Amino acid sequence: MATPPFVERLTQFSLELGRLDQALRGAAVVPAVIFRQRLAAIRRHGAVDGWVIDPWYLVAELHGLVPRVIGQDSFERGTTVDAASHAFTLWRWYARPDEMQASAIAEAETFLSDQSSGWGPLLNAGIAFHRWLESGRPRAPFCAALGRYWHSHDILRAPLILTGIESLTPGTSWEIEPWLCCWLDTLLAEVREAHDLLRQLERARRQAFERCGAQRRHSRAPQAINVLAIQPLVSASILAERLGMSLKSALQLLSVFQDRGIVVEVTHRAAHRLFGLAGLNPLRDVVTPPKRPVPGRKRGRSRKNDPFTAHSVLADEMTQLPPLTRIDPVQFDYEDLAAAMNQANEAIMRSSRLIARLKGQNGS
């Protein structure tokens, strides 16, 4: 009996999955890995759905920040907003489903549990995914159920989102054996990406400790770095609450971290700021800075002769326009139009007389 083509891929995927689970077991940055890996899953899912999603745009939305709407015209800006809306919907499927989504995920979980093919939990999930899509059902609830499946069957201790969604790109064979091979390959790529993300976050945590330098025995700096490594974005009030310190001390500690390049501030604000470990510069780039008053300008609506608003951008643009040229008036010939209107009037009069004559005959 010939060995199925997916057996070797299944073995490799199982080994890599076991290594990832072992590495996550004692890691201190597991919550950050789950958050960042979920963003990567949303980006992949959106790409298969036809949307180019910027995950940092979604992070800004989730934390109440105002992201920049990028685009040369209204169509591109509208596409950016639509992609962000689609990303938020996917995030709801994975993180906080509403009542309708929770019901659809429960249905997918039941389907996943009932489809047993005897190949073990990994291939059972792939075969059930294939059958689910072949029946014409949406992929979002099954992907959310699949993320829970790995955790509930003790395949992964951390609730990572591993779906193999990129196996649904156009051009992939839909025959069950070739498709399972492609699905296992995409899952293997996702596992390796999650492992690289874990190493990256652990490295960032170690570098933060190194930049922190020698501290006093009662210093809260190491605990603060652990909090920053676990939670993506932290405010001074959150840090003060977690470490049991005053708000002023937390602000001073974050200020020292910012000067040493340990953290980056992402809101561009002077108050109610949010900080994250170095590496969140992409998030800072997509956040719109708050509107600040022009230095020296008084409150209220500015006057026309206000020196701070006299040279506006619109005025500068108007000065760059080419000089206006006079267009000579055009003389139109209306003789043909008048003749056509006269013919139309004659036709209307003939029709009126004919209608009146027919009415008289019918009356008699």
Q: Over the stretch 16-26, which tens digit does the pLDDT of each residue have?
A: 999 999 999 88
pLDDT of residue 131: 92
Mean pLDDT score, 207-231 = 79
Strand partners, 275: 234, 265
pLDDT of residue 316: 42
Q: Is the pLDDT of residue 228 over 80?
A: yes
257: amino acid identity, one letter:
F
259 alpha carbon, distance to own chain's centre:
30
pLDDT of residue 296: 63
Q: To the nearest whole percent, how much of the chain has pLDDT over 70?
A: 85
pLDDT of residue 297: 62
Continuous segment of H or E residues that includes residue 276:
strand 275-277
More confident residue, 329 or 78: 78
261 alpha carbon, distance to own chain's centre:
27
Structure confidence at residue 307 as a pLDDT band (50, 70, 90): low
> Would you state the structure tokens that stand for residue 78, as one six-digit string?
């509208």
Contact predicate 180/126, CB 8 Å: yes
Contact predicate 282/56, CB 8 Å: yes
Dihedral angle, C-alpha 92, 93, 94, 99, nearest 10 °? 80
pLDDT of residue 310: 44
Contact predicate 247/237, CB 8 Å: yes
Structure confidence at residue 263 as a pLDDT band (50, 70, 90): confident
What integer best gives the mean pLDDT of the chain? Answer: 82
* DSSP assignment of 291-347: P-PPTTPPSSSPPTT-TTTSS-HHHHHHHTSPPP---PPPPP--HHHHHHHHHHHHH
Q: Over the stretch 273-299, which tens digit does the pLDDT of each residue have?
A: 888 887 777 777 778 777 666 666 666
Burial environment of residue 154 by CB neighbours within 10 A (0 to 12, 13 to 18, 19 or more): exposed
pLDDT of residue 193: 94
More confident residue, 311 or 122: 122
Domains with residue ranges and CATH for the chain: 7-200 (no CATH), 213-286 (1.10.10.10)
* DSSP assignment of 79-130: HHHHHHHHHHHHHHHHT---HHHHHHHHHHHHHHHH---SS-HHHHHHHHHH
More confident residue, 69 or 25: 25
Q: Which long-range contacts (CB under 8 A, 24 or more apart) does 155-159 make?
A: 155/17, 155/21, 155/121, 155/122, 156/17, 156/20, 156/21, 156/24, 157/21, 157/24, 157/25, 158/21, 158/24, 158/30, 158/33, 158/34, 159/34
203: amino acid identity, one letter:
R
pLDDT of residue 317: 42
Mean pLDDT score, 162-189 = 91
User: In angstroms, rounded to a whole number, what is the distance separating the alpha carbons of residues 361 and 364?
Assistant: 5
Structure confidence at residue 324 as a pLDDT band (50, 70, 90): low
Q: Is the pLDDT of residue 54 over 80?
A: yes
* DSSP assignment of 245-259: --HHHHHHHHHHHHH
User: In angstroms, rounded to a whole number, what is the distance separating the alpha carbons of residues 133 and 305?
Assistant: 66
Structure confidence at residue 337 as a pLDDT band (50, 70, 90): confident
Whole-model pTM: value is: 0.73
Strand partners, 277: 263
Q: Is the pLDDT of residue 318 over 50?
A: no
Structure confidence at residue 170 as a pLDDT band (50, 70, 90): confident
Q: How far apart, in Å, are the Cα atoms of 306 and each of 311, 315, 317?
A: 9, 14, 19
pLDDT of residue 249: 87
Q: Over the stretch 116-136, which tens digit does the pLDDT of each residue have?
A: 667 788 888 999 999 999 999
User: In angstroms, rounded to a whole number, what is the distance separating the alpha carbons of residues 81 and 53?
Assistant: 10
**In the block, residue with structure tokens 């945590």:** 205
177: amino acid identity, one letter:
E
Mean pLDDT score, 136-152 = 91
User: In angstroms, rounded to a whole number, what is the distance separating the alpha carbons of residues 310 and 261?
Assistant: 40
